[in-house]
Structure formats: structure tokens, C-alpha cells
Amino acid sequence: MSARSSNGIQQQQQPNTTPQRLQSTPWFHGKISREEAEMLLVPPYDGMFLVRESTNFPGDYTLCVSFGGRVEHYHIIYRDHHLTIDEEEMFETLGQLVEHYQNDADGLCTSLTIPVPKKGNPEVCFDTKDFQNAGWVIPNDDVKLGDVLGKGEFGDVLLGYWHGTKVAVKTLKDPHAVQMFLTEASVMASLRHPNLVQLMGVVLDGPSSRISLVTEYMGKGDLAHFLRSRGRQQITKKDQLNFSRDCCAGMAHLEAKKVVHRDLASRNVLLSDEMVAKVCDFGLARDLTFVGDASKLPIKWTAPEALKDSRCFSNKSDMWSFGILLWEIYSFGQAPYRRIALCDVVKFVEKGYRMEAPENCPAEIHEIIRQTWDAVPENRPTFAELLARFESLRTAYV
Ligand code: ADP
């Protein structure tokens, strides 16, 4: 932590590692047979993969990849502290190897897409050493805890003080959620943008070995609550446009980094004391461990294609959610589809029903919302395109 030991978010430097090193290893299944691996890669989906210990070459590993309805098994040789498949590209860790082949097929049948997570004890799937090595671990004693800021899915979020800076500390209560929790941390660690809530570090040695995420403190709390509590008396058109633009800028960064958020909503946007909106809650981002568990999906915010098939989550499905978020901003935090029962929303939307523009919503914003809800994902705009439109709308207000 020496490089980042003192005061303040602004002065902080990136830890001395590429953030990509922070990786969960849910795809590592240890000692399973070739047949077991093949059963886990069903139903087939090109690029779906896992890593197991090699049975034929003890000490080596095997990368199993689904492609064209078959499973290819690649021998990963471990020699002289390096791992390689083709004896050309060498890697220090399995995480680096997987990341390489996620970015590029480089001789494999396909690039790696969906990791098949190991079931059972999630603790063994995540190597907290990655956090340690990357300099993201904050000693427990360095953080002083204060009041409760809010209640999260995994536990309370507390105000904290870290080297004189206010921070938010989210502590994990249920150890079974550690995988998702650390996935959130690793996604946050790999991203740095003024409109994304910044991770400052992870406390791994908290009371009873609890894990906490330490993030920048956002003094005005979550946007959903802010919109509802301040309402149209206090929130101006300019504020609404700024919130929209800020969220779009954060999402454009995710889009550029090929990260899919999956849970974009006003409840997952936080406001700083200076009223800058930042997207947070990367708990579902990139995490594919919940494939098939549709019960966890925020139905009213999720694009129809992603509700039907979780492999269809994309930056375009995030764009659909962004349209709902815009609708929330311009309706001052009303609940979407409030006259339709939750179980009927999907049916309505699939038949072409779309919410009307919120009262007094500017025509140009309504036009953007309409485009985000195009039934065909490819027809929806990109966040980069929308950002340019928000910037020009903003100059019109000045
Ligand atoms: P979860 O994702 O587990 O539901 P959240 O991250 O949304 O939890 O946090 C729950 C609440 O805690 C938020 O709605 C917000 O009011 C508060 N909170 C979370 N993070 C911060 C932060 N960085 N600064 C200030 N308040 C926060």
C-alpha cells in the first residue's frame, strides 16, 4: 500500500500492477475427469470453458473449451514456473493465460467467452492473493468505522475514515456470497473513471476474517432516493441532464472496456457531494455464475432478450436499462411500469408496450428513451453516441 498510503482520492495512484491481474478463478475446477468436464460444458456454447488439473500429465493443467458442439481439451504445460499451451506464449498464472485467450483465440478453436464456475465452496474459487499481490489490500486497522450509510444486499454499508479521507465500507455478511463480492471488487479495481464509483481497496483481515470493500464516499447517497426525496421542487432540468450525461459517460467507459453492467438502475447510481453521478454496484457485472438463475434479475430494468436468455446480456441490454434509468430521472424517481403487475411486464413489453414519456420530459430526451427500447438490440444507440448527444444538449443549457 506504500504507493497509495496517503490522503485522498485525487492524489491516489494506481497500484503497481495491471488491473487485469485481479481475476477471480471460478473456472478452475481442480481434479475432475475429462468426462466430468464435458458434462459441465453442456449445453454447448462456443467459447464456454473451464480449467482442470491434467489427469495424463500430473502437475500440468487442461483447458477445456466448447466449440461447434464438441469439447476441445488443450494441454497446459507447467515448466520452469511458466504455463504455456503452444510453447510460444508463456504465462506466470492461469489467470493471465485465460485472459490472453479471452482476448484472442491465438491458435485455439475459438477465444474464451463464458467461464463455467465451480460449484460448491466459493471461497476456494477466488484467490485473494491476487488482491494482495496487486496492492489492493488495506490493513484492517487503517480504516476507522463510523455510521451506517445504507443497507446493501450483502450487509451494511458504513462510513469509514482511511488516512483522513471519508470512504464507504461495505462488509460482506454472508461468506457464501464471497465469489460475487470479490467479482464486484475485481471489476471495480479494473476500472477508473470519474463517473464510476472508485474502489480504494479491500480489507481481508476484518473482524472474524470478514471481507470489506472500501470505495470512495458519495455524500448524497443513491440517485433513486435523491430523486424521490428532492422531487421537482428542488431538482432542475439542468440537474437531470447532468445526471443523465454522467451515467452515460460512466457506461460509455464500461462499453469501451467491454464490461456489461447488467444491473443499471437509479438505485445503483450514487451522487457525490458535488452532485456528480457515478455508476456503482458491479456485483453482477461480468459475473456469469448466475446464468440460469432468472429469479435474481431486475425484471423491470432488464432488456427482453436478456430476460429470455442470459447469454444475451450485452452493452445493448445495458442500453435498455439506461432508458429505464433516464425514465426514472425524468419522472423524479417513480417506479417504472407502476400500473402493471411484475409478472405481466415481460408479456406487455414483448407485445410492444412501452412506457409513456414522464410528465414534462423534454422531447429530445424522450426520443433517446424511445431508441433505447428498440426491440432489436443492434438498433439501440451506443453509449459513446449518446454521450455526444448529451454533451451537445448540455451546451444548449449553458
Ligand atoms: P448492494 O449493492 O449490496 O445492494 P449498495 O452498494 O447499493 O448495496 O449500497 C446500499 C446503500 O448504501 C446505497 O443505496 C447507498 O445509500 C449506501 N452506499 C453504498 N455505497 C455508498 C458510498 N460509496 N457512499 C455513500 N453511500 C453509499
CATH number, position 9: 3.30.200.20
User: In the chain, what percentage of residues exceed pLDDT 90?
Assistant: 55
Q: Are 325 and 264 in contact (CB under 8 A)?
A: yes
Residues 246 and 141 in one domain: no
Residues 94, 193 within the same domain? no
Task: Among 161, 196, 216, identify where a domain stops.
Answer: 216
Regarding whether 50 and 182 lie in a shared domain, the answer is no
pLDDT of residue 327: 98
Kindly report the number of other CB atoms within 10 A of residue 388's CB atom.
13
Q: Is the pTM of this model over 0.75?
A: no
Ligand 1 atom closest to the Cα of residue 281 is: 2
Q: CB–CB of 321/302 below 8 Å?
A: yes
280 & 238 share domain:
yes
What's 355's domain CATH number? 1.10.510.10
Question: Do 211 and 226 reside in the same domain of the chain?
Answer: no
User: Can you give the residue range of the structural domain that contains 89?
Assistant: 24-124
For residues 317 and 172, state if they share a domain. Answer: no
- Work out how many domains the chain is built from and give that number: 3
25-50 confidence digits (pLDDT tens):
778 888 899 999 998 887 677 788 89
pLDDT digits (tens, 9 = 90+) for 98-152: 989 988 999 999 998 877 877 654 433 455 667 777 778 898 889 999 999 998 8
Q: Which one, of 244, 275, 278, 242, lies nearest residue 261 by Cα?
A: 278
Same-domain status, 149 and 207: yes
- Are 56 and 116 part of one and the same domain? yes
Output the pLDDT for position 123.
39
Q: Which of 124, 159, 177 is the last residue of a domain?
A: 124
Element (H, E) at 71: strand 70-79
Choose the catalytic residue: 127, 130, 246, 263.
263
Using the atom order of ligand 1, give the atom closest to the CA of residue 267: 14
Helix axes 315-330 and 237-256, enclosed angle (nearest 10): 170
- Phi–psi pair at 85, nearest 5 degrees: -100, -45
Q: Is the CB of 217 under 6 A from ligand 1?
A: yes
Give mean pLDDT, residues 353-363. 96
Which tens digits make up the pLDDT trace of 199-209?
999 887 655 55
Q: Do 136 and 119 sit in the same domain of this protein?
A: no
Specify whether the CB–CB gap between 134 and 201 falls below 8 A: no
Query: What tens digit of pLDDT does each residue of 8-18 get?
Result: 222 233 333 33
* Residue-level pLDDT at 122: 43
From 387, 269, 393, 257, select the one nearest 324 (Cα to Cα).
Answer: 269
Q: Does ligand 1 have an atom closer than 6 angstroms to the CB of 154?
A: yes
Higher pLDDT, 4 or 289: 289
Q: Are residues 163 and 230 both part of a single domain?
A: no
Q: Last residue of a domain, which of 216, 248, 269?
A: 216
Do 159 and 217 form a contact (C-beta atoms < 8 A)? Answer: yes
| Contact partners, residue 41, CB within 8 Å, separation at least 6 | 48, 49, 50, 64, 65, 66, 71, 116
